[in-house]
Amino acid sequence: MDKTPLFLQPAFHEKIWGGTRLRDLFGYDIPGETTGECWGISAHPNGPATIKNGPLQGMTLDQAWSSHRELFGHYSGDDFPLLTKILDAKKDLSVQVHPDDAYAREKEHVPFGKTECWYIIDCDEGSEIVYGHTAPSKEAFRQAVEEKKWDSLLRRVKVKPGDFFYVPSGTIHAICSGCLILETQQSSDTTYRVYDYDRPGADGKPRELHIEQSIEVANCPHHDPELTYHVRQEAQARFTELLREDYFTVSHWEIRGHADPIQKNWPFLLMSVLDGEGTLVIESKNYPLKKGDHLIVPSGAESVSFDGTLDLIVSNPV
């Protein structure tokens, strides 16, 4: 089995709320001055990433998933399960909510709902997110939406670099201006907007809202998930498991020299380099890593280590 890691060329999306930090901080060749999203590891039809190296160079990730399932440990399912993004919120994103799998399959005829999580890479001082709401019931939530009582309904949380948030399907949320976030999520692009600040879209008209769907899928009342981090400290590395849940496991790896972090209990690994540079070593073969790289370590890689100074977000399906 080929053990070459799959380095990926991201797909980019311009958004009315986007900016230029994906270019300014990561060196990406972005399509415009309002680029909001880098889909770094994606097999979604709305923005598949392209393999940049090795025997599958030029193939999109969805094509590799269909034709070379051995690289992914013969993981079950017709569709690649996860999507990794970096989002640059120069302006506020809409207040939104995502459905669970059952609702998405029944109503939208897509394979996945959307549970996600956010690692705050950077943010302006005083930045915040919308995370949940104050309504005690569906009826109270509907009434507050209909009466546009956004200030009292929406729950705002201050954020700082290094913060982590788990956003299960049904969570009312919004990334607000000044935030640069790495998002790990199910491979879904289904979003219901409940509020968009009455602003016009790119065509000058208000963007579509999805009030009824939002009310149907919103968790009422909101409960903050309880998170327990698991940390493994080594001489030259620190590995923090941020989340382990039904769809994915997400960790923050900080390499400051040499590290052998891998215990082979994963079908394949998704890696995004947030900062630094170094080397990924797979069975004595070296692969350079730098800030902004997105890659997949395939199932056949048994011996994996690192050298250098690197900060990575690493995930895998469960």
Give the tens place of pLDDT for each residue, 89-105. 999 999 999 999 999 99
- Positive or negative CA dihedral for 62, 116, 96, 107? positive
Question: Based on the domain organization, do 236 and 205 belong to the same domain?
Answer: no
Residue 280 sits in which domain range? 230-317
Strand bridging mode 269-282 / 304-317: antiparallel
Q: Do residue 196 and residue 48 come from a single domain?
A: yes
List of the chain residues with pLDDT < 50: none
Does any domain span residue 224? Answer: no
Q: Are residues 181 and 116 in the same domain?
A: yes
User: Within a domain: residue 1?
Assistant: no
The reply to whether 223 falls in a domain is: no
Among 119, 140, 133, smallest CA distance to 170 is for: 133
Q: Name the domain boundary from 165, 195, 217.
A: 217
Using a 10 angstrom Cβ sphere, with 0-12 exposed, 13-18 middle and 19 or more buried, the burial of residue 234 is middle
Asked if 67 and 36 sit in the same domain, the reply is yes
Same domain, 43 and 158: yes
- Same domain? 61 vs 200: yes
Half-sphere exposure of 107 (CA within 13 A, CB side): 16
SS3 content of the chain, % helix, strand, coil (to 5): 15, 45, 45
The pLDDT score that the predictor gives to residue 264 is 75
Task: Kindly name the residue from 193, 238, 244, 256 that is annotated as catalytic.
Answer: 193
Same domain (yes/no): 142, 259: no
Six-digit token string for 274:
């947030």
| Residue 103 belongs to a domain | yes
69 assigned to active site: no
Q: Is residue 242 assigned to a domain?
A: yes
Is 144 part of any domain?
A: yes
Q: Is position 222 within any domain?
A: no
User: Is 41 in contact with 83 (CB distance < 8 Å)?
Assistant: yes
Same domain, 34 and 89: yes
Q: What is the pLDDT of residue 261?
A: 67
246 and 185 in a single domain? The answer is no
Beta bridge partners of 164: 119
The CATH number covering residue 256 comes to 2.60.120.10
**Domain boundary at 177, 193, 217, which?**
217
In a domain, 305, yes or no: yes
Q: Are residues 183 and 143 in the same domain?
A: yes
Element holding 61 (H helix, E strand): helix 61-67
Q: What is the SS3 assignment for 230?
A: strand
- Over the stretch 287-308, which tens digit does the pLDDT of each residue have? 999 999 999 999 989 889 999 9
pLDDT tens digits, one per residue of 10-29? 999 999 999 999 999 999 99
Q: State which of 163, 190, 217 marks the end of a domain.
A: 217
User: Number of folded domains in the chain?
Assistant: 2
Same domain for 279 and 209 = no
> Is there a single domain that holds both residue 97 and residue 169?
yes
